[in-house]
Amino acid sequence: NAGVTQTPKFQVLKTGQSMTLQCAQDMNHNSMYWYRQDPGMGLRLIYYSASEGTTDKGEVPNGYNVSRLNKREFSLRLESAAPSQTSVYFCASSEPWGLAPNEQFFGPGTRLTVL
Partner 1 sequence: AQSVAQPEDQVNVAEGNPLTVKCTYSVSGNPYLFWYVQYPNRGLQFLLKYITGDNLVKGSYGFEAEFNKSQTSFHLKKPSALVSDSALYFCAVRALHQTDKLIFGTGTRLQVFP
Positions that interact with partner 1 (CB under 8 A)? 4, 31, 33, 35, 40-45, 48, 50, 58, 90, 92, 94, 96-97, 100-101, 103-109
What is the Cα–Cα distance from 92 to 25, expressed in whole angstroms?
8
User: Three-state SS for 83?
Assistant: helix
| 68 vs 107, beta carbon nearer partner 1 | 107
Please return the burial class of 14, using the count of CB atoms within 10 Å of its CB with bins 0-12, 13-18 and 19+. Answer: exposed
Minimum Å gap between C-beta 15 and partner 1 is 26
Residue placing its CB nearer to partner 1 in the complex, 83 or 96: 96
